[in-house]
Amino acid sequence: MATTGRAVIVTGSSRGIGAATAILAANRGYAVCVNFVANESAAMSVVQTIEKAGGKAIARRADVSDERQVVELFDSAERSLGPLYGLVNNAAILERQCGFSDLSPARLERIFRTNVIGAFLCAKEAIVRMSASGGGAIVNVSSCAAKTGSPHEYVDYAMSKGALDTMTVGLAKEVAADGIRVNAVRPGFIETDMHAAGGEPDRVERLRDSIPLKRGGTPEEAASAIVWLLSADSSYCTGSFIDVAGGVG
């Protein structure tokens, strides 16, 4: 195991792509803060998986859309793990599939509050701390929906990921001189519980034939790109995007 010991926060990492990212990052030697909003036992089981493999992790509850909770999350992570090196902005939500005319302003506000304002609050907190400690890396977990637009499913969610992509580009340029790299991964059709939240647990299976690689992806395949963008192996990448969507996009 590599032993960089650098502190990384992965938001929304009690399950899915976030959990796979936390486990892989710890396996590569990062000290990981597993952030969760509701399911503490799932977060603790990610921590236990990491510890059993000889890694270091803590679990911390925080709603990323709440500024006070975000500040407490970062304070607590740094107290336990040391100066922050990495942030993975992974937490996000979507709601039930519907057509554009059935979307409501209230729904857009909920989606944007977590997916855009949440990522913004975490990135803002991260860059202050990373500039003070000599640099770091932020990876935003976007979606191939930012390119496809998710018609008839959730255009609101796709819009939020488009905003995240734009934040990635702007912030990357703004903080490059501080030694902070900002990149994004755009997953698509990854087998996680998120599709059930959209009302169709078997969505990936339904769409399989439209995916050039003819299958859904695993959380580990998305995590692999995320952890690469965190690492020094991607040291000349900033404002970059990796699509992990089986050829869609």
Which residue in 188, 198, 223, 238 binds ligand NAI (CB under 6 A)? 188
Q: Does 189 bind ligand NAI (CB under 6 A)?
A: yes
Give the type of residue at 235: S
DSSP string for residues in 169-189:
HHHHHHHGGGTEEEEEEEE-S
Pick from 92, 138, 171, 172 the residue near ligand NAI by CB under 6 A: 92
Residue 216 makes CB contacts below 8 A (sequence gap 6+) with 189, 190, 191, 204, 205, 208, 246
Out of 187, 223, 230, 246, name the contact with ligand NAI by CB under 6 A: 187
**Closest approach of ligand NAI to the CB of residue 94, in Å:** 7
Decide: helix, strand or coil at residue 217.
strand
Tokens of 39: 């399911």
Name which of 37 and 137 has its Cβ closer to ligand NAI: 37
How many residues appear in the chain?
Answer: 249
Rule CB under 6 A: choose which of 193, 209, 232, 236 binds ligand NAI. 193
Shortest separation between residue 23's beta carbon and ligand NAI, angstroms:
13
Q: Which stretch binds ligand NAI (CB under 6 A): 16-24, 25-33, 73-81, 230-238?
A: 16-24
**How would you class 191 by CB atoms within 10 Å of its CB: exposed for 0-12, middle for 13-18, buried for 19 or more?**
middle
Residues numbered 57-76 forming contacts with ligand NAI, rule: CB under 6 A = 63-65
DSSP output for 43-74: HHHHHHHHHHTT-EEEEEE--TT-HHHHHHHH
Stretch in the footprint of ligand NAI (CB under 6 A) among 1-9, 80-88, 124-132, 189-197? 189-197
Binding residue (CB under 6 A) for ligand NAI from 6, 16, 117, 198: 16
With CB under 6 A as the contact rule, the residue among 6, 8, 11, 223 that binds ligand NAI is: 11
3-state secondary structure (DSSP) of residue 162: helix
Both tokens of 37, joined, read 């909003």
Residue with the closest Cβ to ligand NAI?
Answer: 16
Strands (E), the chain: 7-10, 31-36, 56-61, 84-89, 136-141, 180-187, 241-244
Which listed range, 49-57, 98-106, 129-137, 186-194, lies at the site for ligand NAI (CB under 6 A)?
186-194
Q: What's the count of helices (H) and strands (E) in the chain, helices before strands? A: 10, 7
Point out the catalytic residue in the list 30, 154, 157, 236.
157
- Strand-pair category, 7-10 with 84-89: parallel
Q: Is 154 a catalytic residue?
A: no
Task: Write down the least CB distance from residue 179 to ligand NAI, Å.
Answer: 25
* Total residues binding ligand NAI (CB under 6 A): 29
Instruction: Please list the active-site residues.
Output: 157
Residues that bind ligand NAI (CB under 6 A): 11-12, 14-18, 35, 37-38, 63-65, 90-93, 114, 118, 141, 143, 187-190, 192-194, 197
